[in-house]
Structures are given as structure tokens and as C-alpha cells.
Amino acid sequence: MGFTYRCLIIDDETPAHKALASHIAKYEDLEHSGSAFSGMEALKMLNENTYDIIFLDINMPVISGVELMELQPNRPLTIVTTAYSDFALSAYENDAIDYLLKPISIEKFAKAITKAKAYFLGKKNKNDTSVKDVLSYRVNGQMTDILLKDIIYIESLGNYMKLFSNKLDIPIIIYGSLSSIATDIDSVNFIQIHRSFIVNTKAIQALTSRTLTMSNSEVLPIGRKYQILVDNLNL
């Protein structure tokens, strides 16, 4: 038997779960591996389990589908399933594979799955040839590598970023945004805690309800939007 794609359904309505589970069951290589009925429940499940594809509703209480995508930039391949057409741009800006309007026919479901599989295989082949454990950046016209495990945190400076490392006496400034760098770092050891900060969870020394103290003694604020990610850390 070949590879089986583990699927998570995220929706606050039971009928939507039943419809998607029925579609998934028609594929031998798809497995219904979990159901979340809120964004908060989904975040917990994504942090504790491994999935390959998620089917994500948009209009959910507390944490919407768009907010969940923003909080989890390194989440599994995402197929948005919603009754609303208004959020398509936001979904695609957050790298959704497809945007399906309810009720979802098996034909539309099949096309979305085909897209997801193609993207998954392309990404898998790319990752198989190069395991990312370093971040490359350009300083004075030359490319330099820094080990991801040595990064303490990254601060946004508009179109630039400031990287703090336990191997460097002073931080380095490189071109790019936090959203662009999120695809190059793993979501297990790095999380965004504020619109201006991504931190290495292994470099956290202390935690309060509003701040994090890092291994270089810097105290960083926790943004209200990102509080749930910090609360789910096992420190």
C-alpha cells in the first residue's frame, strides 16, 4: 500500500464534518485522522499531531480560519471549505491550496485533492534533496549561513529583519519579512509571539502572561493575537 494522507477537518458545524468525511472515505489514500470543532481545538491538535491535509472552515468563533492560517504559517496543506466567498484573497495570500464553497460536490473535492497531492509530492521531493537546518543570508555581497538552532529570536524591521544568535556578539540585519522567513524555519522550535517577533522556543528562559525572557536576557512582548500559541508551549 502506498502513502496515506492524514486529513484533519476543522469546522464548527457537524454536517460539514459528515460531508467531508464522506468524501474522504471514497479515497483509499486519504485517512480521516481528526476532527476539530473550533480554531482553538484545531491549534491544539496541530501542535500535538501530524497531518498532511487540513480542510478549514473560515467562519468560526474565537479564532477564524484566516486567523488560524496566520497563526500557523507552517501548517499542513490547507483546503478552505466555507459558505463565504469574501475571504478567498486572504486564504490564497496565506497559501491555501484551494477554496471550496459549500455545499462541496465530489467533483470539486476531487480537483482540490489533485492539487494538494501535486503540491505535496513536489514539496516532498524538494525537501528530500535538501534538509533545511541553516538560514542563508547575504552580508556585504557574500552569502553566509547561520544554524537555525543558534538563532535566539528574529525581529521585524519593516522590509528587514534583525537576527539574534547565541554565536554572534551583535545581531545581523538582513532583507526580508517575518512572513517570508516562516517557510524556512520549522514550526516545532520556532513560533511567532508578536507581529514583530519570531522566537526559538528552546531559547526561552522565562514566561509571564505578557512577556517572554530569552536566553540573551531580552524581554519580548506577547501579542494578544499570538497568546494562544504561547499558552500551548510545553515549557
Q: Check: CB of residue 120 under 8 Å from CB of residue 5.
A: yes
> What's at 192, amino acid-wise?
Q
What confidence tier does 130 reach under pLDDT thresholds 50, 70, 90?
A: very low
Residues belonging to the chain: 235
| In a shared domain, residues 93 and 170 | no
Q: What is the CA radius of gyration of the chain?
A: 19
**Average pLDDT of span 4-21:** 97
Given 95, 129, 163, which residue is the final one in a domain? 129
Of all residues in the chain, the percent with pLDDT exceeding 70 is 92
**pLDDT at 182 > cutoff 60:** yes
CA distances from 184 to 67, 106, 143 (A): 20, 34, 16
Given 129, 150, 169, which residue is the final one in a domain? 129
CB atoms within 10 A of CB 146: 17
**pLDDT at 197 > cutoff 60:** yes
For residue 204, the domain's CATH number is 2.40.50.1020
Given 104, 129, 154, which residue is the final one in a domain? 129
- 152: cell is 535566539
What confidence tier does 177 reach under pLDDT thresholds 50, 70, 90?
A: confident
**pLDDT at 57 > cutoff 60:** yes
**pLDDT at 203 > cutoff 90:** yes
By residue range, what is the domain housing residue 141? 134-231
Burial of 28 (0-12, 13-18, 19+ CB in 10 A): exposed
| In a shared domain, residues 149 and 97 | no
| In a shared domain, residues 70 and 159 | no
**Average pLDDT of span 201-215:** 94
Region of residue 61 (phi > 0: left; psi between -120 and 50: alpha; otherwise: beta): beta
| In a shared domain, residues 83 and 182 | no
**pLDDT at 233 > cutoff 70:** yes
What confidence tier does 187 reach under pLDDT thresholds 50, 70, 90?
A: low
**pLDDT at 62 > cutoff 80:** yes
Q: For the chain, give the DSSP string.
A: ----EEEEEE-S-HHHHHHHHHHHHT-TTEEEEEEESSHHHHHHHHHHS--SEEEE-S--SSS-HHHHHHH-TTPSEEEEEES-STTHHHHHHTT-SEEEESS--HHHHHHHHHHHHHHHHHHHHHHHH----EEEEEETTEEEEEEGGGEEEEEEETTEEEEEETT-SS-EEEE--HHHHGGGS-TTTEEEEETTEEEEGGGEEEE-SSEEEETTS-EEE--GGGHHHHHT---
Q: What total of structural domains would you count in the chain?
A: 2
